[in-house]
Chain A
Amino acid sequence: KQEVTQIPAALSVPEGENLVLNCSFTDSAIYNLQWFRQDPGKGLTSLLLIQSSQREQTSGRLNASLDKSSGRSTLYIAASQPGDSATYLCAVGASWGKFQFGAGTQVVVTP
C-alpha cells in the first residue's frame, strides 16, 4: 500500500524566507502528485498538479518538483508572506483519480 510522508510536521519561518516542504512516497508507480493548501477549519485548495511524466511545475511563487525514482516531491515557496501560513498537504494520485494523502506540514510565517 502506498505510504506518503511529509517532513517536517511543522515549520516556522520569518517573512521573506523561502519555504521548502518535503513529501516522500513508497511506490513510484504513481499517476500524478498534487499539492494542496488547507486553512484552519476549511477545505483544501489545489496549488499544483504534477503529472508522472513531468519533473516540475510552477505557478507564481510556487514551484514543485517530482522525482519518481527516488519517491520524492518538494514544494518551494519563494519569499514567504504571513498569508502563506497554512497546512500544506501532498497527495499521490492512483487509479480512478484516487489520492493517498500525507499528514501535512503546518507552516507559520512570522511578520
Chain B
Amino acid sequence: DVKVTQSSRYLVKRTGEKVFLECVQDMDHENMFWYRQDPGLGLRLIYFSYDVKMKEKGDIPEGYSVSREKKERFSLILESASTNQTSMYLCASSPSGTKNTEAFFGQGTRLTVV
C-alpha cells in the first residue's frame, strides 16, 4: 500500500517562528502536494512539485515556501508563522502522467499558531 507520512500530527508554534512540516512517501511518486483545510473553505492547494527540485505555486502560496531535495520528501515551510496559518495541513502524492493519477494523502498535521 502507498504510504504518505507526515512528521507530526499536532504542532503548536509561536507567532514569528519558522515552521517546517515534513512529508515522506514510499511509492516513488513524481507528484507531491501540500494542501490546507479550513472549515467552510475546504481543501486549498498551497504548492505542488512534479519532480525533484521543481515546484509550482498553487492557489494560496503566500506566506509559504517548499523544498524538494529528494523524490520521496516534500517539505512545507512557514517563513514567519502567523495566527491565520492555524489550520490542518495535508500532504499528498501521486504518480506522473494524465491517467491513473490517483492521489494518496497523509494523516494530516494540525498546526496551531499562538
* A→B interface (CB under 8 Å): 31-32, 34, 36, 41-46, 49, 51, 89, 91, 93, 95-99, 101-104
B42 & A32 in contact (Cβ 8 Å cutoff) = no
| B45 at the binding interface (Cβ < 8 Å) | yes
What band does the interface of chain B fall in when counting residues whose beta carbon is under 8 Å from A? Answer: 20 to 34
Q: Which of chain B's residues have a CB closer than 8 A to the CB of A98?
A: 33, 45, 48, 58
- B105 to nearest A CB, angstroms? 4
> Cα distance A103–B50 when bound, in Å?
25
Known contacts A89-B43, A101-B43: A44-B102 contact under CB 8 Å: no
Q: Which of chain B's residues have a CB closer than 8 A to the CB of A46?
A: 102-105
Q: Which of chain A's residues have a CB closer than 8 A to the CB of B99?
A: 31-32, 51
Q: Which of chain A's residues have a CB closer than 8 A to the CB of B92?
A: 44
A-B contact count (CB 8 A): 62
> Cα distance A34–B104 when bound, in Å?
11
Cβ contact of B105, chosen from A32, A36, A93, A97, cutoff 8 A: A36
> Cα distance A26–B88 when bound, in Å?
27
Chain A contact residues: helix, strand, loop or mixed: strand
Chain B contact residues: helix, strand, loop or mixed: strand
Closest to A4 in B: B42
Q: Which of chain B's residues have a CB closer than 8 A to the CB of A91?
A: 43, 103
- A105 to nearest B CB, angstroms? 12
Q: A36-B105, A93-B101 are in contact. List 16 more A-B contacts (CB 8 A).
A: A31-B99, A32-B99, A32-B101, A42-B107, A42-B108, A43-B108, A44-B90, A45-B105, A46-B105, A51-B100, A89-B43, A96-B31, A96-B50, A97-B48, A97-B95, A102-B42
Closest to B6 in A: A43
> Cα distance A96–B103 when bound, in Å?
11
Contact pattern, B 25-45, Cβ under 8 Å of A = 1, otherwise 0: 000000101000000101101
Q: List 19 A-B contacts (CB under 8 A).
A: A31-B98, A31-B101, A32-B101, A34-B103, A41-B108, A43-B6, A43-B106, A44-B105, A45-B105, A46-B104, A46-B105, A49-B100, A91-B43, A95-B98, A97-B48, A97-B95, A98-B58, A99-B45, A104-B42
